[in-house]
Amino acid sequence: MLSLPVISMYFSSPRMSHARPLLKSLHSLPVSQRIKFKVAVLTYKICSTSRPAYLHSLLSNRISESAATLRSASRTLLHVPRTRTVHDSRAFSVAAPTLWNSLPAVITNTRSLIVSRNRLKTFLFHQTPPLAAQLASPAVKHL
């Protein structure tokens, strides 16, 4: 992840300019999307290679109880354990399957890591809200 001073210097932009337009032009993800990207890529590697074993042991495939054959049967879905607190839901054993199951099949069913990473980054990049929407939200405080 590039720092804002480095990006500002690269683009010769003012020191206090917004980072989002600069990051968008570099096709770089914001921190929250970058975390999702890293977790999804790690989950892909675990599902395709079963390594590392200590993380593979935390994930298990979801078993369908219905006898009907569905279109989603060709897709590998992971079992999401139940949690009682928000803190528990941040564990890798819960966060990884939740994120993996929310991704489109075109990303999760890909055989190549490179193709999967490219599709995942594009998917997350298009999910990023525009800067104007973030500035208009009441959560942003201006100093």
Q: Residue 41 in contact with residue 107, Cβ under 8 Å?
A: no
CA–CA gap between residue 44 and residue 50 (Å, rounded)? 10
Dihedral sign of CA atoms 133, 135, 138, 140 in order: positive
Reduce the DSSP state of residue 78 to 3 states and report it. strand
CA–CA gap between residue 28 and residue 1 (Å, rounded)? 8
Percent of the chain whose predicted confidence (pLDDT) is above 90? 50
Q: Is the pTM of this model over 0.85?
A: no
- The model's pLDDT over 9-41, given as tens digits with 9 standing for 90+, comes to 777 777 677 766 776 676 678 889 999 999 999
Task: Check whether 137 has a pLDDT greater than 70.
Answer: no
